[in-house]
Structure 1
Amino acid sequence: MDDAAILKRRGYIMGINLGEGSYAKVKSAYSERLKFNVAVKIIDRKKAPADFLEKFLPREIEILAMLNHRSIVKTYEIFETSDGKVYIVMELGVQGDLLEFIKTRGALQEDDARKKFHQLSSAIKYCHDLDVVHRDLKCENLLLDKDFNIKLSDFGFSKRCLRDDNGRLTLSKTFCGSAAYAAPEVLQGIPYQPKVYDIWSLGVILYIMVCGSMPYDDSNIKKMLRIQKEHRVNFPRSKHLTSECKDLIYRMLQPDVNRRLHIDEILSHCWVQPRSRGQSAGAINKEGESAGTAHSLWVPELGTDKKSATKMEPREESHPEARPEAGSEVKSQENTVPTSRQAETLAFNPELTKKSEEGFPQQSSETHT
């Protein structure tokens, strides 16, 4: 029996193809019970690799069944047929994904970015509080509902974190995700703290939201790693971002895992909080002290504590050689996994980096180090 017939028997009228990989595909369908369109992820066990069937798929199914958050794609039903096909019926992102939205409309204004980023961060806090990590956060996996609210999707790389006898989270050794969004420790093959990995990816996503471009050029992983480990973040001058926004991004893209922000610190950051809208453009720490005025080019002052907002010091110029790295075009990640949104799951090889011709022209930038 084909997919359309199987879905029809379950009360779904199959629609168009939304994505396809070597062993999984995603179809749209109309639910006669729910009275609206849904997405159906169809996985063929006969074509899937053993490690996916033994490890990733059981994790995904377990986690999807337990999640219930307004900013996470809802899972309505999971069933399997006798011939080894798994059907996961999910909420449909009717407005597409965030990557396509930005490629079509350009960078978001900070107020819109703040709203969407708060929705995403709330979803990540919900997951992290359950000791669930996503490990494949990227704009393609952020779907938009009819009102353009964020819906986090694709938990193919997700897992529940284990704890040792002292209650501390154990490190992960599975290196997965998308190179352009992956933290330096993951790209280097170092056992990593999965929650801390998610935070780096959040930093990349917020940068893309407000800049309309990638923070790092992943066509040369070795060079990208060097820039990341030097804690260099370039912002397009034309975007006129507030210091608070740049401060938050800079502190999420922190190569030192012990200093990278936690999800609670992100949600309490002055830029994310509504009160930040009425404050000056100077960076503000948790004690409410202004840390300087807005400049087109600034660098954090050395020696600040990670628990307080980074103080800023005006500088006329910093690392001009880094400027070509700014404005890397927003592109579909050809070396990413899953191969399509809500579709297939494979581990990436950092050496297999490709450059998309789609995207935005490079812009002049300012450098933060």
Structure 2
Amino acid sequence: MDDAAILKRRGYIMGINLGEGSYAKVKSAYSERLKFNVAVKIIDRKKAPTDFLEKFLPREIEILALLNHHSIVKTYEIFEISDGKVYIVMELGVQGDLLEFIKTRGALQEDDARKKFHQLSSAIKYCHDLDVVHRDLKCENLLLDKDFNIKLSDFGFSKRCLRDDSGRLALSKTFCGSAAYAAPEVLQGIPYQPKVYDIWSLGVILYIMVCGSMPYDDSNIKKMLRIQKEHRVDFPRSKHLTGECKDLIYRMLQPDVNRRLHIDEILSHCWVQTKSQVLSSAAINKEGESSQGPEPPWAPEPGSDKMSTTKLEPQEEARPKAQPETSPEEEPLQVQVSRQSEAAGIASEQPSTETEEGPPRQPPTLPPSPAIQEQPSTAACLSPLREQAHSEHHWPLGATGPALLFLAKATRLCHGSYVLFRLCAHSEQPRVDL
């Protein structure tokens, strides 16, 4: 039985293809029960790698069933059929993703960036309070609803943090995510605090929001890492960013993990708490800097306009390769760095000296030429999908069909044990059937 027939039996009328990878794809669909459009991830367990089958999908499904937050993409139903396919029915990002939004419209004004960043930060706080870490935060994974509100998606690399007997968080040692958004400790292969890793990625995202470009050029990982460890953050003078905004970014992009901001400190930062206000032209002096307060120490030298010239492009993520089965004590440190062309706070939680899977080990030497993990990016599918959306009118998604772009990464999913759950008719909390 094909996918359309299977979905039809469960009350979904399948629409266009939104993305496809080696063992997973994303389809649009209309839910006859919910009376609106959804996105459906379809994963073929027969084609998926073993490590994804055994580790990543079970984690993702557990976390999707747990999360319920207004700034996180909703999951309505997950089911598996006898031939080994898993179907995940999720909220559709009708306005695309943040990367495409910024590439099309340019950098955001601070008021708009503040609103979207607060939505994202509140979602991360919700996750961190549950000891859930995302580990793949990037603009492609931030979908936009009909009102352009942020919806955090793609929990394929997420996990529940482990704690030792004293309650301290254990360290992670598997590289996840994209190099352009990865913290220096992750790029170095050092066992890392996963919550603190998420904070660095938030800093990169906010920089992209307000500057319209990447903060670091990752075409040379060694050079990028050196700049990051020197705590160098260059801002374009042409954007006229407020000192408070630059201060927040600077503190999130702190290479010292013990000084990087905690999520609660981010939400209480003066820039995030500022009421909406537009920086007037009168507040800009002739040198192009805000006249409010002293020049921040990380600003470019007078007369310069130094910043990363890396283009804003979709980022591929490093996918952990399948490893032979080992005991937790024998499991090696995994570091795969994929090449992507794109005042201090004290963390409240001290990490355990043990990692998730065993004691810390010496990090491997950073490779001079990181291997590129070839995976189809979502954005690469956008142009033909938009054309297809405009040309196909027979599917029941209405006039908004061309804009219905659920941009979850279909190539990062795995399979294993599964949970069935769906949204109850009169409740926002999913009903879980084991």
Verify same fold: TM over 0.5.
yes
Q: Does 1:178 align with 2:178?
A: yes
For residue 327 of structure 1, report the CA deviation from its aligned partner: 3.3
Change beyond 3 A, Cα 1:107–1:294: farther
Q: What do residues 58-99 of structure 1 show as CA deviations (whole Å, max 9, x unaligned)?
A: 000000001000000000000000000000000000000000
* 2:271 counterpart SS class: coil
Amino acid at match of 2:266: I
The structure with the largest alpha-carbon Rg is 2
* 1:213 counterpart SS class: coil
Q: What do residues 225-247 of structure 1 show as CA deviations (whole Å, max 9, x unaligned)?
A: 00000000011111000000000
Instruction: Give the match for residue 349 of structure 1.
Output: 336
Q: What do residues 286-342 of structure 1 show as CA deviations (whole Å, max 9, x unaligned)?
A: xxxxx97254xx316xxxxxxxxxxxxx88459x7x93x52321111145569xxxx
| Identity across matched positions, percent | 84
For residue 142 of structure 1, report the CA deviation from its aligned partner: 0.1
Instruction: Give the match for residue 123 of structure 1.
Output: 123
Q: Does 1:327 align with 2:309?
A: yes
Instruction: Give the match for residue 240 of structure 1.
Output: 240
Task: Note the residue ranges of structure 2 that are not aligned, 5 or more in a row.
Answer: 285-290, 321-333, 343-378, 380-434
Counterparts in 2 of 1:183-194, with a 5 A limit? 183-194=183-194
Q: Distance in 1 between matches of 2:270 and 2:134?
A: 25
For residue 260 of structure 1, report the CA deviation from its aligned partner: 0.2
Amino acid at match of 2:202: L
Change beyond 3 A, Cα 1:38–1:218: same
CA contact (8 A) 2:24 2:41 kept: yes
Instruction: Give the match for residue 297 of structure 2.
Output: 299
* 2:169 counterpart SS class: coil
Segments ≥4 residues shifted beyond 2 Å:
274-282, 314-318, 334-338
Instruction: Give the match for residue 311 of structure 1.
Output: none
For residue 213 of structure 1, report the CA deviation from its aligned partner: 0.3
Task: Say which is worse superposed, 273-282 or 23-32, in terms of deviation.
Answer: 273-282
Q: What do residues 13-49 of structure 1 show as CA deviations (whole Å, max 9, x unaligned)?
A: 1111111111111111010111111010111100111
For residue 279 of structure 1, report the CA deviation from its aligned partner: 10
Instruction: Give the match for residue 344 of structure 1.
Output: none
Q: What do residues 241-272 of structure 1 show as CA deviations (whole Å, max 9, x unaligned)?
A: 00000000000000000000000000000000
Counterparts in 2 of 1:265-284, with a 5 A limit? 265-275=265-275, 277=277
Counterparts in 2 of 1:122-271, with a 5 A limit? 122-271=122-271
CA contact (8 A) 1:29 1:38 kept: yes
For residue 348 of structure 1, report the CA deviation from its aligned partner: 7.8
Give the TM-score taking structure 1 as reference length. 0.82
CA contact (8 A) 2:311 2:341 kept: no
Q: Distance in 2 between matches of 1:278 and 1:154?
A: 33
Q: Distance in 2 between matches of 1:161 and 1:334?
A: 24
Number of residues paired by the alignment?
A: 322
Give the TM-score taking structure 2 as reference length. 0.70
For residue 275 of structure 1, report the CA deviation from its aligned partner: 4.3
Instruction: Give the match for residue 50 of structure 1.
Output: 50
Q: Distance in 2 between matches of 1:148 and 1:278?
A: 19
Task: Note the residue ranges of structure 1 that are not aligned, 5 or more in a row.
Answer: 283-290, 301-313, 339-346, 359-369
Change beyond 3 A, Cα 1:328–1:116: same
* 2:270 counterpart SS class: coil
For residue 137 of structure 1, report the CA deviation from its aligned partner: 0.2
| Cα RMSD (Å) | 2.5
Q: Distance in 2 between matches of 1:292 and 1:230?
A: 27
Amino acid at match of 1:156: G
Q: Distance in 1 between matches of 2:318 and 2:101?
A: 19
Task: Say which is worse superposed, 195-204 or 268-277, in terms of deviation.
Answer: 268-277
Amino acid at match of 2:297: V
Q: Distance in 2 between matches of 1:219 and 1:197?
A: 21
Q: What do residues 132-187 of structure 1 show as CA deviations (whole Å, max 9, x unaligned)?
A: 00000000000000000000000000000000011000000111101100110111
CA contact (8 A) 1:214 1:326 kept: yes
CA contact (8 A) 1:179 1:348 kept: no
Q: Distance in 2 between matches of 1:175 and 1:245?
A: 29
